[in-house]
A and B are shown apart, each in its own frame.
Chain A
Amino acid sequence: MTYDLTFAKEVYKNSEEGHWIKMCMQCGVCAGSCPLGFLGAWKYSPRQIFQMVRAGLRDEVLTSSDMWMCTSCYNCIVRCPRNLPITHIIHGLARYASVQGKADPKQPTHQFAKDIFWENIVATGRVGEAALTMKLYFKDGIGEGIKQGLEMKDSALGMLKAKRLKPLPFRGKIKGYPGFKAMLNKAFELENKKEGKA
């Protein structure tokens, strides 16, 4: 039956800021404030996602692409009349879907944010924009990468000319990298414990 709170309680406990979901009053201000809502980018607005959590629709929520449509503009946060940290709740649900293995690994934002961007940071301690771009273009294989690269060639050349892009996608690690890496390892150990991941 629906409106079983098992999934809701799981989210309240494990997903970042998830406990706020029960306080949503379904007014829809978030939906009307989301920049991608007007482009029809999502099927379910934030408030609908929240109601689905409360209704116990675990698979529908966690496999949804909609949480990954957040641009982090924070419009929903400042407008929510119930003061829910909606942006963070949505980020949390996206992350939770990823951790639970429910998020499509090929979902573009999921893939970019987790596999490309985050790995880029972890690799050296800082973002290497050139490497980031390269990896982004070549995420779907060499052929697709060359095509993408060619499409964006004018932009890339412009950036190179303006000295706002490194000609080569290599960057060194920060000096304190070993400590940095040790910190992240410990942080993940603590994080996994909370998220209930093995």
Chain B
Amino acid sequence: METKIGCYICTGCGIGEALKVQSLEKIATKEQKIPVVKNHPFLCGDEGVALIRKDMESEGVNALVIVGCSHRVKSESFRLGTALMDRVDIRDKCLWVLDVPEGDKTAAEDRQMMAEDYVRLGCVKVKKMNDPKPFEATTPFSKDVLVVGAGIAGLTAALEVARTGYKVLLVEKEETLGGKVANMHKVSPARPPYNKLEDNPLPKLLAEVKGNSNIRIMNSTVVQKTVGAPGLFDVTLKNGSSTAQERVGSIIIATGYTAYDPNKLEKHLGYGSSPDVITSLEFEEMAKAGKIVRKSDGKPAKRVAFSLCAGQRDSSHLSYCSGACCVYSLKQALYVIENQPDASAYLIYQEVRTPGQMEDFYRKVQNEGGIFIKGDVKQVAANTTGLTLDVDDKLLRQNIKMDVDLLVLATGMETTVDTVDPNSASPVGTQVEELPGSVLNLHYRQGPGLPSLNGPFPDSHFICFPYETRRTGIYVAGPARRPMGIAATRTDAAGAALKAIQVVESVARGAAVHPRAGDLSYPSFREEGCTQCKRCTEECPFGAINEDAKGNPLFNPTRCRRCGTCMGACPQKIISFANYSVDMIGSMLKEVEIPEADEEKPRILVFACENDAIPALDMVGRSRTNPLSPYIRIIPLRCMGSMNLVWIADAMSKGYDGILLMGCRHGTDYQCHNVRGSALAEIRLSKVSETLTRLQLEADRVKMVEVNIMDAETLPQVINNFVAEIKELDPNPYKEF
């Protein structure tokens, strides 16, 4: 179908008074050859929207350039059923960020020039768009969910998915279901007033799972390998010596934790040398059996010490806090002292960490007479009636000795998920069919496990999308994702269940999941141009691209998040999306009018990330306090990862005096919605000075900054300082050509 573009300029919100709208219209009509160009004083109102709709119905307009405010406002009004649309923001990012004093003709002229350039950018952008066609697979999509692990996390996730009507395949490695919680005596409170021990929730949950016809349970079964992509996962399951293949749409990993091996702890804690030194899990079993006794002689244990953080927050063991041990130790202390006036429970702690309502539970144990000692166990010695502990008491500031019957070590949790370094993984063809210890054994270019971040746990964008992993359609719930207790695990499992459903529905209609939820475009590539450099397959933050034997990329569109990192990585410029391409941005930046050098009006190109930098810029506009330089021209990018170096060269040849890139924070505290986008852009830019030197330009002309969505207050200074630095340099000599 022929594209017919309509350009609609809103003159409301002061636009009509501040700008020469006729000139803007002329740019669209004469220069950009847009067939339908109109203006309206209140475009987002019913009448304005009706004007556009009428043209779409009777004039055949099917692509839109809406000139007015930011795309982040009034998005409902302009949802007009076409994906071929750009919102040209001349209000928030032009009118509201420029200081134009009454009667200042130069400032008014600069503002007009900025608005005109933005109209040009919008027109070119829409001209370069194609209507995205959703991805269709050659084999049928599955909407079933595979849950790996049938402990409290897996059972909860399975039940949550099944209750919404989806089919679940629940796989458990052991013969019996229930995991670690099966051995629990009681659990800590999950409901008000948060001060009573609760019965083990597992039997009820198990009965519900077994009674749900949407759940198929496979016990004594492990995943041998996983091939494919969301909606199209082909999973090989192994039960004894037999294997079976199943197709599922998404996967929840709920394989739980392994307790840290107490034999690795320092000898002075006494584990192994006295039977009366035990772990929390061993104590729990005692409590469940109703026999809290000294293992050495079977006599009742009335004086029980708990050593919290045993081998945790300790660089020689687990460096992190497992988050749940304080609460379960409080629970176990209650087993000892509740309604037993002759019993004592000593909690030897670093800090008592009881977030949320667990503070009430902490108070309960204090009120029951629990004895809290801040310090470290220094020595454990067996005596005839139990143990003598040497404790370095940090509150009394002295070493104390205490006699107890049992010492319980609260050891930490280690994840059962195998992680992988995507950068050192070998191509998929060399992956083994069975990888013992791997939860899924993914046949992905970037390796069989899940990428981790700063430690052993799978990376999960903890700020915005905590249930996610860096593998689309695969979610980790419970202590496999990060250490947590039962209550948090159940919430986590419910969250993962929702994500697992969301992804199967999205891929079935060819749409992306977050952060570009609903986007129907996906990367296509021009095979004959490929040089097998493998940058796209290595850099994709989500491991979406596999490789064939020759090193050509094999795209898996349902794994793709549409960040464009592959497009930015490709030196041959052969990867593109229907609505986003190297050519589109390259053409846009070339359309800006660059004033002659002697006009002393530099032009600074700003590439801004749509996720954080653009909202921050909108907030600068809304605050209307800190004006920006009129010399900047902003082009939004869907992610800094999509930034292709050819744009830098193009912009420099065009005559821009400087380029500022505004991406998200990267590193271990990254905020990039696509995990690696801004980090990769920074790496690419480190090579840009070569390009600049080749063009005989100063390297300072290109700068990348990290911008957070909350940076509105400091952003103007960052931008204006860069403009000032550029003004210090001579004008870009390429202006002359």
Contacts and interface: CB of A to CB of B under 8 A. Distances in A.
Interface of A: 1-3, 5, 22-23, 25-26, 47-48, 51-52, 54-55, 57, 82
A1 B352 contact: no
B346 interface: yes
A73 B400 CA distance: 34
B402 A22 contact: no
- Report, nearest first, the 4 A-B pairs whose CB atoms are least far apart: A51-B395, A2-B400, A3-B371, A23-B366
Contacts of A48: 395-396
A54 B374 contact: no
B344 interface: yes
A51 B396 contact: yes
Contacts of A82: 363
B367 interface: yes
B388 to A, nearest CB: 9
Given A23-B363, A23-B367, A51-B396, 16 more contacts: A1-B400, A1-B401, A1-B402, A1-B403, A2-B393, A3-B344, A3-B400, A22-B367, A26-B372, A26-B374, A51-B395, A52-B396, A55-B396, A55-B400, A57-B396, A82-B363
Contacts of B393: 2, 55
Interface in B366-418: 366-367, 369, 371-374, 393, 395-396, 400-403
A8 to B, nearest CB: 9
A98 B323 CA distance: 45
Interface string B97-122: 00000000000000000000000000
B193 to A, nearest CB: 16
B352 A25 contact: yes
Nearest to A4: B344
Given A25-B352, A26-B395, A48-B395, A54 B403 contact: no
Contacts of A3: 344, 346, 371, 373, 400, 402
Nearest to A57: B396
Q: Which of A3, A5, A82 has the most CB of B within 10 A?
A: A3
A51 B374 CA distance: 10
B305 to A, nearest CB: 10
Contacts of A1: 400-403
Nearest to A48: B395
A31 B420 CA distance: 49
B395 A22 contact: no
A22 B371 CA distance: 8
Contacts of A52: 396
A5 B395 contact: no
B401 A2 contact: yes
Contacts of A22: 366-367, 369
Contacts of B372: 25-26, 54
21 contacts: A1-B400, A1-B403, A2-B393, A2-B396, A2-B400, A2-B401, A2-B402, A3-B371, A3-B400, A5-B344, A5-B371, A22-B367, A25-B362, A26-B374, A26-B395, A47-B395, A51-B395, A51-B396, A54-B371, A55-B393, A55-B400
B351 to A, nearest CB: 10
Contacts of B363: 23, 82
Nearest to B401: A1
Contacts of A55: 393, 396, 400
B344 to A, nearest CB: 7
A52 B344 CA distance: 17
Contacts of B366: 22-23, 25
A55 B403 CA distance: 14
A83 B253 CA distance: 43
Contacts of A54: 371-372
Nearest to A81: B359
A26 B366 CA distance: 12
Nearest to A9: B369
Nearest to A19: B367
A51 B367 CA distance: 15
A52 B398 CA distance: 12
A82 B352 CA distance: 14
A2 B366 CA distance: 18
Contacts of A47: 395
A5 B402 CA distance: 13
Nearest to A2: B400
